[in-house]
Copies of this chain bind each other. A is one copy, B any other.
């Protein structure tokens, strides 16, 4: 019996669908999401990204081999040297200054998902950490593909959220998600059924905390 990433998704089917097809995602795809909701999400996503950087740093610390360390570092570089800058630019376009970002408190949903990932990584091994990160990295790629397939999704200038969709639909982001799935599949092929049950729990918890993140955006909650 050899497990794959698809088994993790199938195991928590309802939550994965609830996350992918969340109202925040639908409204964003149809271009009718309240700008204030998007701004609130964007700001918290900036704080999320910093904690995500800490998670990849933790992965580098926990790496048993130099190859693993370089792999984790590539993720850290992508976040801190690249994505954080893009995110700051994007926030500026939505009227959110870098100064405002620097002084933001974290919303509860931001604290919840990020700290769950970090503690899971500290408690377990590199695979636990990656499974906790997967709903974000792989999920956003799935979401972009799902959105693009929906007839109700509005593309191009008619949708103020087009750049968001385009970014996660991009070949680069989709390839990064595929690489992560390949990494996970390689490890999952070796785990025992009881270990797989633990990983399902982690994947399900993390997915629920991602749903909360959409809720936070939609309801503009702290």
A interface, CB within 8 angstroms of B? 50, 53-55, 57-58, 60-64, 66, 69-70, 72-73, 76-77, 80, 102, 105-106, 108-109, 111-112, 114-116, 118-120, 122-125, 128, 190, 192, 194-195, 198, 201, 204-205, 208-209, 212, 222
22 pairs from A and B in contact (CB 8 Å cutoff) = A50-B66, A50-B69, A54-B60, A54-B61, A57-B73, A61-B61, A62-B122, A63-B123, A64-B198, A105-B201, A108-B209, A111-B116, A111-B205, A111-B209, A112-B112, A112-B116, A112-B209, A115-B116, A122-B122, A125-B128, A190-B192, A208-B222
**Contacts A108-B208, A108-B212, A209-B108 known; A73 to B76 CB distance under 8 Å?**
yes
A69 CA / B118 CA spacing, docked (Å): 15
What 15 new A-B contacts, CB under 8 Å, besides A57-B69, A112-B115, A208-B222? A53-B60, A53-B69, A54-B123, A57-B57, A57-B73, A58-B58, A60-B60, A106-B205, A108-B209, A115-B120, A118-B119, A119-B122, A125-B125, A125-B128, A190-B194
Residues of chain B within 8 A of A66, CB atoms compared: 50, 102
A70 CA / B50 CA spacing, docked (Å): 10
Chain copies in complex: 4
Residues of chain B within 8 A of A62, CB atoms compared: 122-124
A61 CA / B111 CA spacing, docked (Å): 15
Q: Which residue of B lies closest to A55 (CB)?
A: B61
B119 touches A115 (CB 8 A): yes
Residues of chain B within 8 A of A57, CB atoms compared: 57-58, 60-61, 69, 72-73, 76
A62 CA / B54 CA spacing, docked (Å): 8
Residues of chain B within 8 A of A195, CB atoms compared: 190
A80 CA / B63 CA spacing, docked (Å): 13
- Among candidates B55, B77, B111, B115, residue contacting A118 with C-beta atoms closer than 8 Å: B115
